[in-house]
Structures are given as structure tokens and as C-alpha cells.
Structure 1
């Protein structure tokens, strides 16, 4: 790694850490807000969903925009709007309507930020080294998610608005840092005709199979996350504190996989690592309905989050390799839109299945693992890399 490339990657890692640390700080506060407002717990699901809906809507627009004006304006603009969304709610924290508006705005900004940062990594890395650096970026995101909720929970003891104020401050620091340190990574090719490729055309190419697999994996994981605590309550009477510890441990393993295992993979080794990740998820989904205790639940979470870290990071890296230079933004945006769609429908569908029987969503999750594994296999078969 050259010093210049190393410096750029470290800057992007820091930005991602600050973004996800700030975002995850408010997670412990959301259920408390429902209590404060005195409304149905259904609002918690709607508040989470509206963020993903906004991301789903905005990402394709920002993907096309980034391939025209570059990544840096998108990053700076996204950080400013992201910061503003948290600050607005911190000031008007007694309004449920403002919370919905602020989460919608934050979701739109997240689409811009994902496209900008992922495209930046694709811009400055080669095909051979991209997987390694995507793993480092994923590690920074994972570490942010590990420590954010803990700090947010402490601040929530001061007031429900405190985590929102602190998140706004952290994102502001990331904004200033970006203005001063982050340089444009995109070099436009004016000889390329605009508008040759649109997102829908990706789905008739081999990479379309991998894009569908991205949706299935996120659908599966977001559904699991939304019903895991319900299962724990049903089987072992798990507490919110114990739940937090489990996801903290899972987050640590996620970061280790991203920064350790994935970073050491060479170009061409992605398929085998994805299959291992899928196998880990499959074992966990089969185990979950038979949960017997906290340690057992911890094993399941570690398997799920480690397997997911392998699969999602490697799929994102592989998808960016398929894009031509002037289409990286659109390709990453398509990926993020499918991620967001999975986050919208996954929790709803899995919670409906949970009402039938507590084991049904996890059996269904195991079937989704097999389906997404088939898609991954088909992609590499069409690429001639497996028999």
C-alpha cells in the first residue's frame, strides 16, 4: 500500500467510523421515545422503516449524480444534511412528526454517504486489492456500531435528546474533517457518452444475480434482527441488557472478520469465503429455534454476524468490480437500494411469520440462506469460476 493510498483509506475509515458511531448512538433511545410520546409500539417499526424507504428512494439518484459531479460534493452535502437531521430532532424532541421527518431526511442523506464512500474506495483501489480495503472500511463501520449504542445509552440517562445532540456534533466533526482532508477521487471521462447504462440493465447481466442475492441476504438478516429478541424472550426470557451484550460481542467478531480475514483474502478467493459465510449463517438459523440459554444464543449471534460480514462485504466488493469506471456510483447505489428494500420488507415479513410460530421465521431464514447461496453459485458459474 503506497503512503498516499494508505492515507486516503484511513481518512475514509475515520469518516465511516464517525458516521456509524453517531448513527448507532440513538438506537437505545428509540424504544424510549415511543414511551415518552405515549404511542403504539408500531411507531417504532414505522420509524425504522421510513429511514430505509428514504434510502431506497434516494440512492439511485445519488448514484447517477456521483458519476457526474464526483464523490466529494456528495460526501460533504450528505454529512451536512445528516447532521441537520439529528440537530432538528434534538431541538424539537417533543414532536413525533418531527422525528418522522428527521428520520426520512437522515435516510436520504445515508444514501448519498454510502454511494460517496463506497465509490471512493472503488476509485482508488485496483481490482486485485479492492476486497482487502473494503474489509477495512467495513471494520471501521463495525467498530462504530459496537461502541455507539453503549455511549448512546449512557447519554440517554441524561435526556432523550442528548444522544441526538451528541450525534449532530460527531457528524459535524466528520464534516469539517472531510472538508479539510478528503480530496476528490473520481476522474470523469468526457469521451464516454452519458446515459448508455441504466440500473435496470444490470439485472440482465451476470452481476444481476449477485444484486438479487444482496437483497435476499439483507432481507434475511434484517428479518432475523427484528425477531431475535422476540425469540430470546420466548425461549430464555432474555433482557434488553443481555441482548445488548450479545450484539456487542457479535459486533466485535464482525469487526475482526472485516479487518482480519477479509483483508487477507486475495483476488479470486471471494467465492470460497462467501460459501463459508453462508454455511455459518445456515447453521445459526437451524440452531435458533432450539435456543436453550444465553451462551447458546451468543454462539448463534456470532455465527450470523461473522457469516454476514463475510458475505455482504465480499458481494459489495465483487459488484463494484463489475462496474465500468464511469458507472461505479450507479452500481453502488443499486446495491444500497436493494439493501434498503431488504430492510423494509424483512422485518415485516419475519414478524408476521413469528405470529404463526416462534420457529417459523428461522426455518424460513435457513431456506433464504440456501436460496442466496444458489444465486452466488450461479453468478460464479456464469463467470466461469466454478463448474
Structure 2
């Protein structure tokens, strides 16, 4: 930082330094999420390899989100008090340890039985979820080094890093679990290293986490900011404080409701695509990759520019309305596609029938709206959180809102799965209905508390 004098070079260097700091944080988040994405393809098969119920697949998924919910506010507060850099570096290193433990579950099972193996999976996923709470510190770091008028674009890059991690992570995990790679690794690695289609993706995830930790320690610099001097508070205290704040209360609630709605759809889309489009795992992966690429473009490029033109409140309303509309339309895309003016097709799966069938075009069109709506709403909510929090409490504010999102991702999937059994369209429509009050509150400008404004301002 300069000395405050009229130094043209120093003034010019500050934006460059800020851009570099943002780039490093985005890189760390990307590596961290890439490691998380690597294990996604193997998780259900790993659990099933122990001969236990598929219920444990849901439990291992929920354990990550629940731990993230509990850890995000604490990590955010600690980053306010002790610094962003050490929190980010320590948490991603902890994720590396968790993925190593995940890899050794089979060996634990051979020594101590199936219960111990499953417990190892659950504990390692819980530890990884706690480490994943570092997103609050990363978002606070972005807020520290970015001018307020540029934060939507910078925070959108965090969302883009998420999207890229979920685009490339599963692909890397699938490659690492392939027979050819496993066979090659067995011929190269020492005999004492367990080499299976489950361990190699786990070791790859661990390596990416350790690489992210090294980048945070060696390249990332602690931002120049005013640190919080407040006393330590519990998770409940932090949520109570946030919910008592007229500015933050609607945002915390919005994060929770949005996460319940969207997480449930994430889980139930693949069964829907299999039941109504005949998609197998490969075809579903193509669609999810399409959504991930769109999410990267939306959050990394489009949303930031729209926020500057429209403002965070208007963009949040547009995003929420778009997401609600897409969720309501998604289960009815086969019927919508049947009336589109396209050449008649068979309506079979993406890889087993004509690509340009009406239902497929409808599905991809609604998917594009869903990707935009989700990106616009989430980035705008993050921007509003940053604007409403003081400079000393950015980490705690992001921690509470991200914790609310994690809690929503814990609640949403089992509720959506139960609803799908009763009526296939119900989780999608219920998700859309849940978003209506979020859009209404945002449209009324209630997230601005004492500085209330409506979207017409």
C-alpha cells in the first residue's frame, strides 16, 4: 500500500495488486472445488462397495453440507479476527487430510469391519465439509481487496470458480478411476499404496487441496483492513445477531430458502431425466456439463456487468424470478417440447435419439434460464451481504449466510426425494413456490433495512 501521497505509480499499482489478489483467491477456490468435484463420480459406488444401503449415500452427502453449515460462520469470524490468509491455507490443507482418510476407508474396513469403514467415510466427508466452510473467508477476502462498485463482478468470479470446479472435477475423477489409469498406477506406485478406482480420485483430490494450501501460503498476501476486535461468539449467537439485523435477516433467510429449493432439484434432476428422457449417466453428465459451462459464463462475465447496469437489488429480483420460472417449467419440458415447431422426433435420450427433438430443446432452453437465474440471484445476494456488513464483520456476515446456504443444502435433498416419490413434478414446483417470497422481499427492497429502496428506484 502507498503512503497516501500523490504517487502516480502507487495509485496505478493498487488496482493491479487487487486484481492479482483476487486472481490468487479465485485460483485457490478453484483448486479446492476441483478436488471436491473429483470424488463426485465415485461416491455412490464407493459406498455401495461396502454392501450397505443406499441411504448411506445420502448421509455421506448430507454430512458434508451439515459440517459446512456449522463451520462457515466460525471460519468467517476467525478470518475477521486472525486474518483471511491463515484460515484459507489451513482449511484447504485440512481438506487434503480429509481426502486421504477417505481413500483409506477400504483398508480400515479390512482391519476393523464394515461399520468402521463407513464411519471413516462419514468422518472424512464431515472434515472436508468443515474445511469447505472457508468460502466465507474467501468471499470476505474478495470484499477486502475490491471496491464496492466492483464487488459483484469479483464475487461472480467465485461462483465461476465453483462452476469450473464442478465441470472439470468429475471429469478428472472419472479419468482417475478408469481401468487404464488404475492399471498404470499399480505398475508405478509402491505396493503399500492402495491403488483402486476409489483411492486414485481421492489421492488426486488430496493433492489438489495441498496445492491450493501451498498457493495460499506462498502467494496470497493478507489484505490491509480493519480487523474485528469483538469477543468470540458462538454459532447460535452469530445467527441470532444476523437475524436481529434488519439488513441481514432477509438475506440469511433468502440464502436458506434458495438453497433448499435448488439443492433439492440438483439431486432429483437425474432421476427425472432418466424417467422422462431415457438419459443414462453419460447423457446426464453432458447436460450437467452444459449447465456448468453456462454457469461459468454467467457468473464470471455476464452477472457482474448486469449488476453494474441494474444494481444488485434489481438483478436479484430478475435472477430469482428466472430461477423460479425455470423450476416450475422443468418437469413439464416433455409436454412443452411436444408443441414446439420442430421436426417430429422420438423423444429418446440425448445420446440414444435425435438431438433436436422438441422435448430436448425445451429442456436445454429451460436449463439455460435456470443457470442464469441461479447465478444472478446468488451473486446479487453475496453483493448485498457485502454492502450491508461493516468492513470489520465481512467474514462473519458471509459465514452466517453461507452457513444458512449449507443448512438448506442439508435439508433440501431428502425433502425433494420424498416429494418426487409422491409426484414427480412436486419438488420442482415446490422449489418455485419457495422462491416467490424471496423475490417479493427483494422486490420490496427490504434487504436494505434503514436504507430501504425498491426496484423502481
- TM bin, normalised by shorter chain, reads over 0.9
Which stretch of structure 1 is more off in the superposition, 348-357 or 59-68? 59-68
Q: Residue 139 of structure 2 contacts residue 398 of structure 2 at CA under 8 Å; is this kept in 1?
A: yes
Residue aligning to 1:340: 406
1:256 to 2:297 alignment: yes
Once the two structures are superposed, the pairs formed by residues 287-326 of structure 1 within 5 Å of their partners are 287-292=329-334, 293-326=359-392
Residue aligning to 2:169: 148
Q: CA RMSD in A?
A: 2.0
TM-score normalised by L of structure 1:
0.94
Distance in 2 (alpha carbons) for counterparts of 1:154 and 1:298: 26
Shift of 1:50: 0.5
Shift of 1:380: 4.8
Q: Residue 247 of structure 2 contacts residue 448 of structure 2 at CA under 8 Å; is this kept in 1?
A: no
1:70 to 2:83 alignment: yes
Residue aligning to 2:308: 266
Once the two structures are superposed, the pairs formed by residues 49-88 of structure 1 within 5 Å of their partners are 49-88=62-101
Q: Residue 70 of structure 1 contacts residue 186 of structure 1 at CA under 8 Å; is this kept in 2?
A: no
Distance in 2 (alpha carbons) for counterparts of 1:35 and 1:87: 19
Deviation string 1:108-130 (CA, Å, 9 cap, x unpaired) is 1111x212211101111122111
1:172 to 2:206 alignment: no
Which stretch of structure 1 is more off in the superposition, 21-30 or 85-94? 85-94
Residue aligning to 2:223: 185
Match of 1:101 among 115, 120, 123: 123
1:24 to 2:37 alignment: yes
Shift of 1:279: 2.6
Shift of 1:301: 2.4
Higher-Rg structure is 2
Q: Structure 2: which 5+ residue stretches go unaligned?
A: 1-13, 108-116, 183-196, 335-358
Secondary structure of 1:291's match? helix
Match of 2:48 among 25, 35, 46: 35
Distance in 1 (alpha carbons) for counterparts of 2:238 and 2:430: 33
Match of 2:262 among 194, 217, 221: 221
How many equivalent residue pairs? 385
Deviation string 1:302-360 (CA, Å, 9 cap, x unpaired) is 22122101101110121021111111111011011101110011011111111211111
Shift of 1:300: 2.6
Residue aligning to 2:146: 125
Shift of 1:220: 0.4
Match of 1:202 among 230, 239, 242: 242
Q: Residue 136 of structure 1 contacts residue 259 of structure 1 at CA under 8 Å; is this kept in 2?
A: yes
Change in CA separation of 1:125 and 1:231 when aligned onto 2, cut-off 3 Å? same
Distance in 1 (alpha carbons) for counterparts of 2:16 and 2:427: 48
Distance in 2 (alpha carbons) for counterparts of 1:151 and 1:195: 41
Deviation string 1:123-176 (CA, Å, 9 cap, x unpaired) is 111221111111122212211211111111111223111110111111111111
Shift of 1:221: 0.3
Q: Residue 87 of structure 2 contacts residue 137 of structure 2 at CA under 8 Å; is this kept in 1?
A: yes
1:384 to 2:449 alignment: no
Q: Residue 94 of structure 2 contacts residue 128 of structure 2 at CA under 8 Å; is this kept in 1?
A: yes
Distance in 1 (alpha carbons) for counterparts of 2:232 and 2:92: 28
